[in-house]
Chains A and B, each alone.
Chain A
């Protein structure tokens, strides 16, 4: 196992494990962390998993791990890796089972003071309109044809079905639609699993949260994003549901034999991959795009239902309750992007698994209003703790492939959390701090307890100190809905 003494100091909050550390590594591993956070890292296998990821064929630059890293399967969570396009590989395990799990932030001009008397009603209305929990699907069953349409078009499907505005699409990564999605590349089982879950949150760490914009750090960027201190905002965190899980499972399975055919040797079968330009690699890229589009549409439909909930409770009672989308980011995804790596522009497939895109100012993919400040980066905290709005920087483009952390990151296993924390106690504690919690199960609540996660402020402080993001605003939770 890698120990902290194996790490080479690069600059504050940046460390490296050189390529020479293990003979099968193709690139070094770069770690963004403070010495304090490194102690958490050394408690699990995340660094060893990063070394394994560094063996993939066609890698360029470095494999990076963000300060919220923790042990996953194959790749660590919080990992970023770029492979040369089109002859490098794509690895489904480097993207994750919940393809395009992501988060979006909506904001209002409604002040907390005005909204306060209605918060309980809002919680109830959101809980009714946004289905959540284990085994809970969306409001209606979709036909297979409709699911295919969702997979092909993503948020554009949601727009044509009346669930999205033009601005929603513009403010979603990739405009809410990754091109090249062909539903023929996903299995009948994946489509079937997707048919009942459009517009549903799921369970686990997924949530909908009403937040107070507690503090603004960058008034200019906050103004552009529509964030004002004292106002209400809303976050939605979820992904591609059973459809995405099935797509990943199907391809991790089918690619087991592919690696042999292409003569690829791997230290862990969870890392299976295929060259991007191979028939198998192309099929996975298309299937991943289908699942990613499904996830964009899913968060969009949930946003629509959240807007309906706000309208049903607040319309006619207060002004300025409308929710406008700040941004929607994917944090489990593979993207074909162009980056300056080793001194030259290269087209690469950036795997982000539990990592957020964080493009700096001037990036062509950003909507015009954000081009000057850089991409909004959304980093939700663990339940009951702060969330952060940041923006990407030029340094991120140079040093982290325009990427940043995605959340707090776990430190405690679920079984340990359940042993040490009672869901009921936690519920009481959060309520006594003025946070309304609606949760599917008390055991599930205990597993997601803040004590099971790293300190979000320390994680954000690290990426800010490293220079790959700048803080814009901090959000404080008021209402949390968990599956």
Chain B
């Protein structure tokens, strides 16, 4: 994945956590958003000697914003329920708001922060000169 043209940064929010995410295409935007969420979760301890698992997921939504929420929620659910940290090996998003991903999961021992939810608050994926950008607010 190309990280040069994608990334995220934390934006001040009084009570919750907000990140600004950018990517040169939708795929890199989604991946950067996931990385941002995992950073906010404060994952420090990886389980050593654990052979990584691969999983394929398919998600469908009504629009790209809905798809981003589904994608992040899926990763968050697996983190909090199964202590699995997933990275994305392959990701494709089509114009029918369908996402296919090949994920690589690693077992973690702990994380530092409970994220209650990924919110729809002012969620709006915007096209820019260099790709896409979106702000995501997480309820803490």
- Nearest residue (CB) in A for B42 is A443
Residues of B within 8 Å of A245, CB to CB, are 116-117, 139
Contact flags A68-97 to B (C-beta < 8 A → 1, else 0): 001111100100000000000000010011
Query: Can you add 10 more A-B contacts, CB < 8 Å, to A248-B117, A252-B117?
Result: A72-B121, A73-B119, A134-B114, A135-B111, A192-B81, A249-B117, A252-B119, A268-B121, A414-B13, A443-B112
- CB of B57 to closest CB in A, whole Å: 14
Name the residue in A70, A72, A96 with the highest tally of chain B Cβ atoms < 10 Å from its Cβ: A72
Q: Are B116 and A97 in contact (CB under 8 A)?
A: yes
- Which of B21-29, B69-77, B84-92 interfaces with chain A? B69-77
> Complex Cα distance A239/B15, Å?
17
Question: Interface 1/0s, chain B 95-116, versus A by CB < 8 A?
Answer: 0000000000000001111101
Q: Is the CB of A444 within 8 A of B119?
A: no
Q: Is A302 an interface residue (CB 8 A)?
A: no
- The reply to whether the CB of A14 lies closer than 8 angstroms to some CB of chain B is no
Partner of B81, one of A97, A193, A203: A193
B14 interfacial by beta-carbon distance below 8 Å: yes
A189 close to B77 (CB less than 8 A) = yes
A202 partner residues in chain B, CB cutoff 8 A: 114
Highest count of chain A CB atoms <10 Å: which of B10, B15, B111: B15
Chain B residues closer than 8 Å to A282, beta-carbon distance:
none
In the assembled complex, the CB of B108 is this many whole angstroms from the nearest CB of chain A, namely 10
Q: Is B16 an interface residue (CB 8 A)?
A: yes
Q: How far is the CB of A201 from chain B (nearest CB, A)?
A: 11
CB distance from A34 to the nearest CB of B (A): 19
Q: Which of A74, A204, A270, A441 contacts B140 (CB 8 A)?
A: A204
Give the contacting residue for B15; candidates A135, A192, A203, A410; CB below 8 A: A410
Residues A413 and B112 in contact in the complex (CB < 8 Å), given A242-B80, A272-B120: no
Q: With a CB–CB cut-off of 8 A, which chain A residues contact B15?
A: 70-72, 77, 410, 413-414
Interface flag for A167 (CB, 8 Å):
no
Judge whether A412 is part of the interface by a CB distance below 8 angstroms: yes
CA distance A425 to B121 in the complex (A): 34
- Complex CA gap A252/B65 in Å reads 13
Q: Which residues of B sit under 8 angstroms from A256, Cβ to Cβ?
A: 62, 66, 120
Nearest B residue to A269 by beta-carbon distance? B120
The interface residues of chain B lying within 8 Å CB-to-CB of A77 are 15
- Evaluate whether A74 and B121 lie within 8 angstroms (CB atoms) in the complex, with A204-B140, A256-B62, A257-B62 already known: yes
Q: Is A415 an interface residue (CB 8 A)?
A: yes
> Considering only CB atoms, which chain A residue lies closest to B118 in the complex?
A249
Residues of A within 8 A of B (CB): 44, 46, 70-74, 77, 93, 96-98, 134-135, 189, 192-193, 202-204, 242, 245, 248-249, 252-253, 256-257, 268-270, 272, 410-416, 441, 443-444
- Are B13's CB and A135's CB within 8 A? no
Chain B residues with Cβ below 8 Å from A441 are 112
Distance from B25 Cβ to chain A, minimum over Cβ atoms (Å): 23
Q: For A414, give the chain B residue with the smallest CB separation.
A: B17
The docked-state distance in angstroms from the alpha carbon of A93 to that of B81 is 23
Cβ–Cβ contact B122 & A203, under 8 A: no
The 10 closest A-B pairs by CB, nearest first: A73-B121, A269-B120, A270-B121, A73-B119, A413-B12, A245-B116, A97-B117, A97-B116, A71-B14, A270-B120
Give the residue of A98, A192, A411, A413 whose beta carbon is less than 8 angstroms from that of B13.
A413
* Complex: chain B residue closest to A49, CB-CB: B121
Whether the pair A253, B137 counts as a contact (CB closer than 8 A) is no
A-B contact pairs, 14 of them (CB 8 A): A70-B14, A72-B16, A77-B15, A97-B119, A135-B80, A135-B83, A135-B114, A245-B116, A245-B139, A248-B117, A268-B121, A268-B122, A269-B123, A415-B12
Distance between A114 CB and nearest chain B CB, rounded to angstroms: 37
Known A-B contacts A192-B81, A269-B120, A413-B14; the reply to A73 vs B114 at CB < 8 A is no
Contacts of A416 in B (CB 8 A): 12
With A97-B139, A414-B140 in contact, do A135 and B119 touch (Cβ < 8 Å)?
A: no
